[in-house]
């Protein structure tokens, strides 16, 4: 997708956002509605300016912002992180963190294909989780998301 | 400056230099720096966590330790800001603008040393103001009402146009989105929910820290895994780097450091305005008065120096209203106030009269702590900079886990973790189309101040029957209006005077 097309998509998304928030802002009282109203008006104008700029720039576009991006790795990281967050209430924070760290590191480096490197990565991240547990839970007493297991 | 004042300062110096107190300072600084480095663990949290530990100590020793933690935590945030583009504390947002580009250029060590030296200088300037000018400055702070806070925030917002990838339209869109995100939750005036779209947990609003962790940390994780790079940056330790950076700061950044430290001190005095606002305003001013403002954001030491000197100068400033009036100037200062009260000390003018030894011991210890931070910070940099030698995938997954802890820890809310994740993905996609996280974060930081200031001022104007009387005719408000107008107009004026090309206003990606 070209930068021009992305600008048009962004302008459309902003227009939808203005519509959504604008509908919700109608029920607000004075003076609480003043700032949202000003912001929504500004966003409407700016999205118009963005769309106009994109249209004016011509069909050639201005490069492809996602060129060179390893999309599968990025999508994998987003999906993996979402699965990790979903697993925390069931596995517990520390168990799910260990699973995420191992799966993420091995998946991104390809270490799972080499048993010796995989073992080293597993040991390293087990130590990382122990350090995180000792630092946050035992020493600083910082709360972590609760779960059924540890 | 009378004889009694000199005697108090001398007694304070003797107290601060006692070996046990020096040890507490070193421990506090090290702990504070570690807390500051970890995204989501703020200076406020660091000070709050350590308050109970000080109960067994003499009041002055306890306060000395808490002050050192405060200094260390504010400085510590710059380490992760420079190394992995993740501000450890909100005060370090502006440090990422030039600190991380320096790391990408293989100048991480230089960036870290710049932030250390600038933090020390800013901390000392702020403390000197606390020591010598606390009374008069506290009286100025009392002249700040809702209209003044509103204009101060608007003054901060003028930075938005200059942040980001070069498209002013996209910078403004990003800033407006940040402000709009800040409107989600309870209306600060009426106390009614807004923009929750029927999802009740959103009533608590978008908390700043999880949002920032998402905008900077999680989006950076996605940027780390998108490419082929094996390491975050290149680490090269150069012998004599500290002296070289000090020399460069002295020759090139004297004005930047002084101006930023003064801005930090003054913003710190204002209740509700902390290091995050001071560093952004200082960064903008440094950029505005630079001969070539376009260098900013590409990895210049002036950017790191201005942000870090300002946020550490805030510490001294924030303690001025706390110690003289009993009004904390920042969130960590409010926790420090709790520490004072827990030790049976009542902040206010009587503190200096009745417990001068404690008050001056604490203030002078901040000077000593800032000097000690040179040593402690330098030693810790030797360890933290090694994160650059860790393979990118390992850094990426570890940052995700730390981001979850940091975003959850603020108010034990799973919603905050979800906000971090959603904003992280949005910031990554946004950065591809020219919507940078910096202006979004700036909008989010300033939203509560704009909103409260505007709402209360409008009610005042309704009562007085005149908008102009409230917004424009109060002396400090009028001064801030003039400064805001100058802030908007001077870049174009300076640019024209120097014969440069007009600033880009169009809105296209990749410009």
Tens digit of each residue's pLDDT (9 = 90 or more) over B456-465: 999 999 998 8
Q: CA-to-CA distance for A147 and A150, rounded, in angstroms?
A: 7
Percent of chain B with pLDDT over 90: 47
- In sequence order, the β-bridge partners of residue B185 are B194
Whether chain A has a CB inside 8 Å of the CB on B52: the answer is: no
Residue B378 φ/ψ, nearest 5 degrees: -60, -45
Spatial separation of the C-alpha atoms in residues B62 and B55, rounded to whole Å: 7
| pLDDT tens digit sequence for B153-175 | 898 888 776 665 568 889 899 99
This prediction has a pTM of 0.86
Taking each helix axis as running N to C, give the angle between helix B108-141 and helix B254-269, from 0 to 180 degrees, rounded to the nearest 10.
40
Q: Using CB atoms within 10 Å of the CB of residue B20, give its burial: 0 to 12 exposed, 13 to 18 middle, 19+ buried.
A: exposed
Residue B185 φ then ψ, to 5°: 115, -155
Count Cβ–Cβ pairs < 8 Å, chain A vs chain B: 182
Q: What is the DSSP letter of B391?
A: B
Q: Which residues pair with B193 in a beta bridge?
A: B186
What are residue B231's DSSP bridge partners? B391
Q: Which residues of chain A lie closer than 8 angstroms to B190, CB-CB? A: 29, 32
Residue percentage of chain B with pLDDT more than 70:
95
**pLDDT for the residue numbered B274:** 78
Are B152 and B141 a contacting pair, CB within 8 Å?
no
User: Cα-flanking dihedrals φ and ψ of residue B391, to 5°?
Assistant: -55, 140
Please count the helices (runs of H) and the strands (runs of E) in chain A.
5, 0
- In this predicted structure, which of A121-130, B8-17, B194-203, B502-511 has the lowest mean pLDDT? B502-511
pLDDT in tens, B162-213: 665 568 889 899 999 999 999 999 998 888 999 999 999 999 999 988 998 8
pLDDT in tens, B295-350: 888 899 999 999 999 999 999 998 888 888 887 777 888 888 888 888 888 887 77
* pLDDT, averaged in runs of 10, over chain A (150 residues): 90 96 91 93 95 82 79 95 94 94 92 89 94 86 82
Q: For residue range B391-402, what is the model confidence (pLDDT) as tens digits?
A: 899 999 999 999
Report the C-alpha gap between B274 and B95 in whole angstroms. 15
Residue B425 CB partners (closer than 8 Å, separation 6+):
A78, B218, B219, B222
Give how far Cα B3 sits from Cα of B8, B10, B359, B366, Å. Answer: 9, 11, 17, 22
B251 Cβ contact partners less than 8 Å away, ≥ 6 residues apart: none
Q: Is the pLDDT of residue B504 over 50?
A: no
Q: Which of B52, B453, B509, B511 to mutate to test the interface with A (most CBs of A within 10 A)?
A: B509
How does DSSP classify residue B432? H
Confidence grade of residue B230 (pLDDT, cut at 50, 70, 90): confident
| Mean pLDDT, range B132-145, rounded to an integer | 78
Q: Is the peptide bond before A118 cis (omega within 30 degrees of 0)?
A: no
Q: What pLDDT score was predicted for residue B506? A: 41
The pLDDT tens digits of the residues spanning A71-91 come to 999 999 999 999 999 999 999
C-alpha to C-alpha distance for B129 and B134, rounded to whole angstroms: 6
- Which of B127, B85, B373, B388 minimizes the C-alpha distance to B232? B388
pLDDT digits (tens, 9 = 90+) for B63-96: 999 999 999 999 999 999 999 888 888 889 899 9
pLDDT at B499: 59
User: Among partner residues B49, B393, B506, which is closest to A53 by beta-carbon distance?
Assistant: B506
In the predicted structure, residue B501 carries a pLDDT above the cut 60:
no
What pLDDT score does B369 carry? 96
Neighbours of B213 (CB within 10 A): 31
Inform me whether the pLDDT recorded for B503 exceeds 50: no
Q: Could you report the predicted ipTM of this complex, rounded to two decimals?
A: 0.94
> Is residue B511 over pLDDT 50?
no
Interface of A with B in 102-131 (CB under 8 A): 104-105, 108-109, 124, 128
If residue B186 lies in a helix (H) or strand (E), which one and from where to where? strand B185-186
Give the closest of B194, B227, B417 to A32, CB-based.
B194
Chain A interface includes B368 (CB < 8 A): no
The verdict on whether omega for the bond into residue A94 sits within 30 degrees of 0, i.e. cis, is no
Cα A45 to chain center, whole Å?
27
CB contact under 8 A, B227 and A70: yes
At residue B350, the pLDDT reads: 76
Lowest average pLDDT, out of B9-18, B163-172, B286-295, B460-469, goes to B163-172
Q: Is the pLDDT of residue B493 over 60?
A: yes
Chain B neighbors of A139, CB-CB under 8 A: none
Residues of A whose CB is below 8 A from B428: 74
Locus of tokens 């000199």? B6
Q: pLDDT confidence of B235, banded at 50, 70, 90?
A: confident
Q: Is B422 on the interface with A (CB under 8 A)?
A: no
Residues 382-411 of B with CB under 8 A from A: 391-394, 396-398, 400-402, 404-405, 408-409
**Beta-carbon contacts of residue B353 (< 8 Å; ≥ 6 apart):** none
**CB B157 within 8 Å of CB B450:** yes
């Amino acid at each position: 997708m070209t930068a021009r097309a992305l600008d048009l998509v962004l302008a459309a998304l902003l227009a939808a956002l203005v519509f959504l928030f604008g509908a919700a802002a109608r029920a607000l009282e004075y003076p609480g509605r003043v700032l949202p109203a000003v912001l929504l008006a500004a966003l409407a104008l700016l999205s118009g300016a963005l769309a106009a700029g994109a249209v004016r720039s011509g069909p050639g576009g201005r490069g492809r912002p996602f060129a060179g991006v390893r999309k599968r790795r990025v999508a994998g990281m987003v999906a993996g992180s979402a699965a990790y967050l979903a697993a925390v209430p069931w596995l517990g924070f520390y168990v799910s963190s260990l699973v995420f760290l191992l799966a993420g590191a091995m998946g991104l480096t390809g270490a799972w294909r080499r048993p010796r490197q995989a073992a080293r990565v597993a040991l390293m991240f087990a130590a990382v989780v122990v350090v995180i547990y000792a630092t946050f839970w035992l020493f600083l007493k910082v709360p972590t998301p609760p779960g059924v297991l540890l | 400056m009378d004889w009694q004042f000199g005697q108090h300062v001398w007694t304070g110096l003797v107290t601060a230099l006692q070996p046990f107190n020096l040890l507490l300072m070193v421990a506090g600084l090290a702990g504070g720096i570690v807390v500051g480095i970890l995204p989501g663990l703020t200076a406020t949290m660091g000070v709050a966590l350590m308050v109970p530990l000080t109960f067994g100590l003499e009041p002055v020793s306890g306060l000395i330790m808490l002050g050192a933690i405060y200094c260390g935590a504010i400085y510590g945030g710059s380490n992760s800001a420079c190394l992995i583009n993740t501000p450890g504390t909100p005060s370090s947002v502006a440090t990422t603008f030039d600190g991380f580009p320096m790391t990408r250029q293989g100048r991480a060590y230089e960036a870290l040393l710049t932030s250390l030296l600038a933090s020390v200088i800013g901390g000392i300037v702020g403390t000197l103001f606390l020591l010598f000018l606390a009374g008069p400055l506290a009286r100025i702070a009392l002249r700040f009402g809702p209209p003044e806070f509103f204009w101060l925030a608007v003054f901060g917002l003028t930075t938005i146009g200059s942040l980001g990838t070069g498209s002013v339209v996209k910078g403004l869109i990003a800033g407006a989105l940040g402000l709009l995100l800040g409107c989600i939750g309870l209306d600060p005036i009426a106390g009614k929910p807004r923009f929750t779209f029927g999802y009740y947990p959103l009533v608590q609003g978008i908390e700043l820290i999880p949002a920032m962790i998402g905008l900077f940390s999680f989006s950076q994780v996605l940027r780390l895994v998108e490419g082929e790079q094996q390491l975050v940056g290149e680490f090269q330790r150069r012998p004599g780097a500290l002296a070289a950076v000090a020399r460069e700061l002295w020759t090139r950044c004297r004005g930047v450091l002084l101006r930023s430290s003064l801005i930090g001190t003054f913003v710190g005095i204002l209740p509700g305005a902390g290091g995050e606002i001071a560093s952004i305003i200082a960064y903008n001013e440094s950029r505005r008065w630079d001969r070539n403002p376009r260098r900013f954001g590409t990895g210049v030491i002036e950017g790191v120096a201005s942000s870090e000197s300002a946020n550490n100068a805030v510490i001294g400033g924030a303690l001025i209203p706390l110690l003289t009036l009993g009004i904390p100037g920042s969130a960590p200062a409010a926790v420090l106030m709790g520490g004072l009260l827990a030790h049976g000390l009542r902040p206010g003018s009587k503190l200096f009269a009745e417990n001068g030894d404690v008050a001056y011991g604490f203030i002078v210890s901040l000077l000593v702590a800032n000097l000690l931070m040179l040593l402690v910070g330098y030693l810790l940099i030797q360890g933290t900079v090694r994160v650059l030698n860790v393979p990118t995938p390992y850094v990426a997954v570890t940052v995700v886990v730390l981001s979850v802890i940091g975003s959850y820890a603020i108010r034990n809310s799973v919603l905050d973790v979800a906000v971090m994740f959603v904003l992280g993905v949005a910031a990554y996609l946004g950065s591809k189309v020219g919507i940078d996280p910096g202006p979004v974060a700036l909008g989010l930081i300033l939203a509560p101040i704009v909103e409260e200031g505007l709402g209360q001022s409008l009610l005042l104007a309704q009562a007085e029957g005149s908008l102009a009387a409230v917004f424009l005719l109060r002396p400090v408000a009028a001064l801030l209006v003039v400064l805001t107008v100058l802030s908007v107009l001077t870049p174009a004026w300076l640019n024209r005077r120097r014969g440069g090309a007009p600033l880009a206003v169009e809105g296209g990606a990749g410009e």
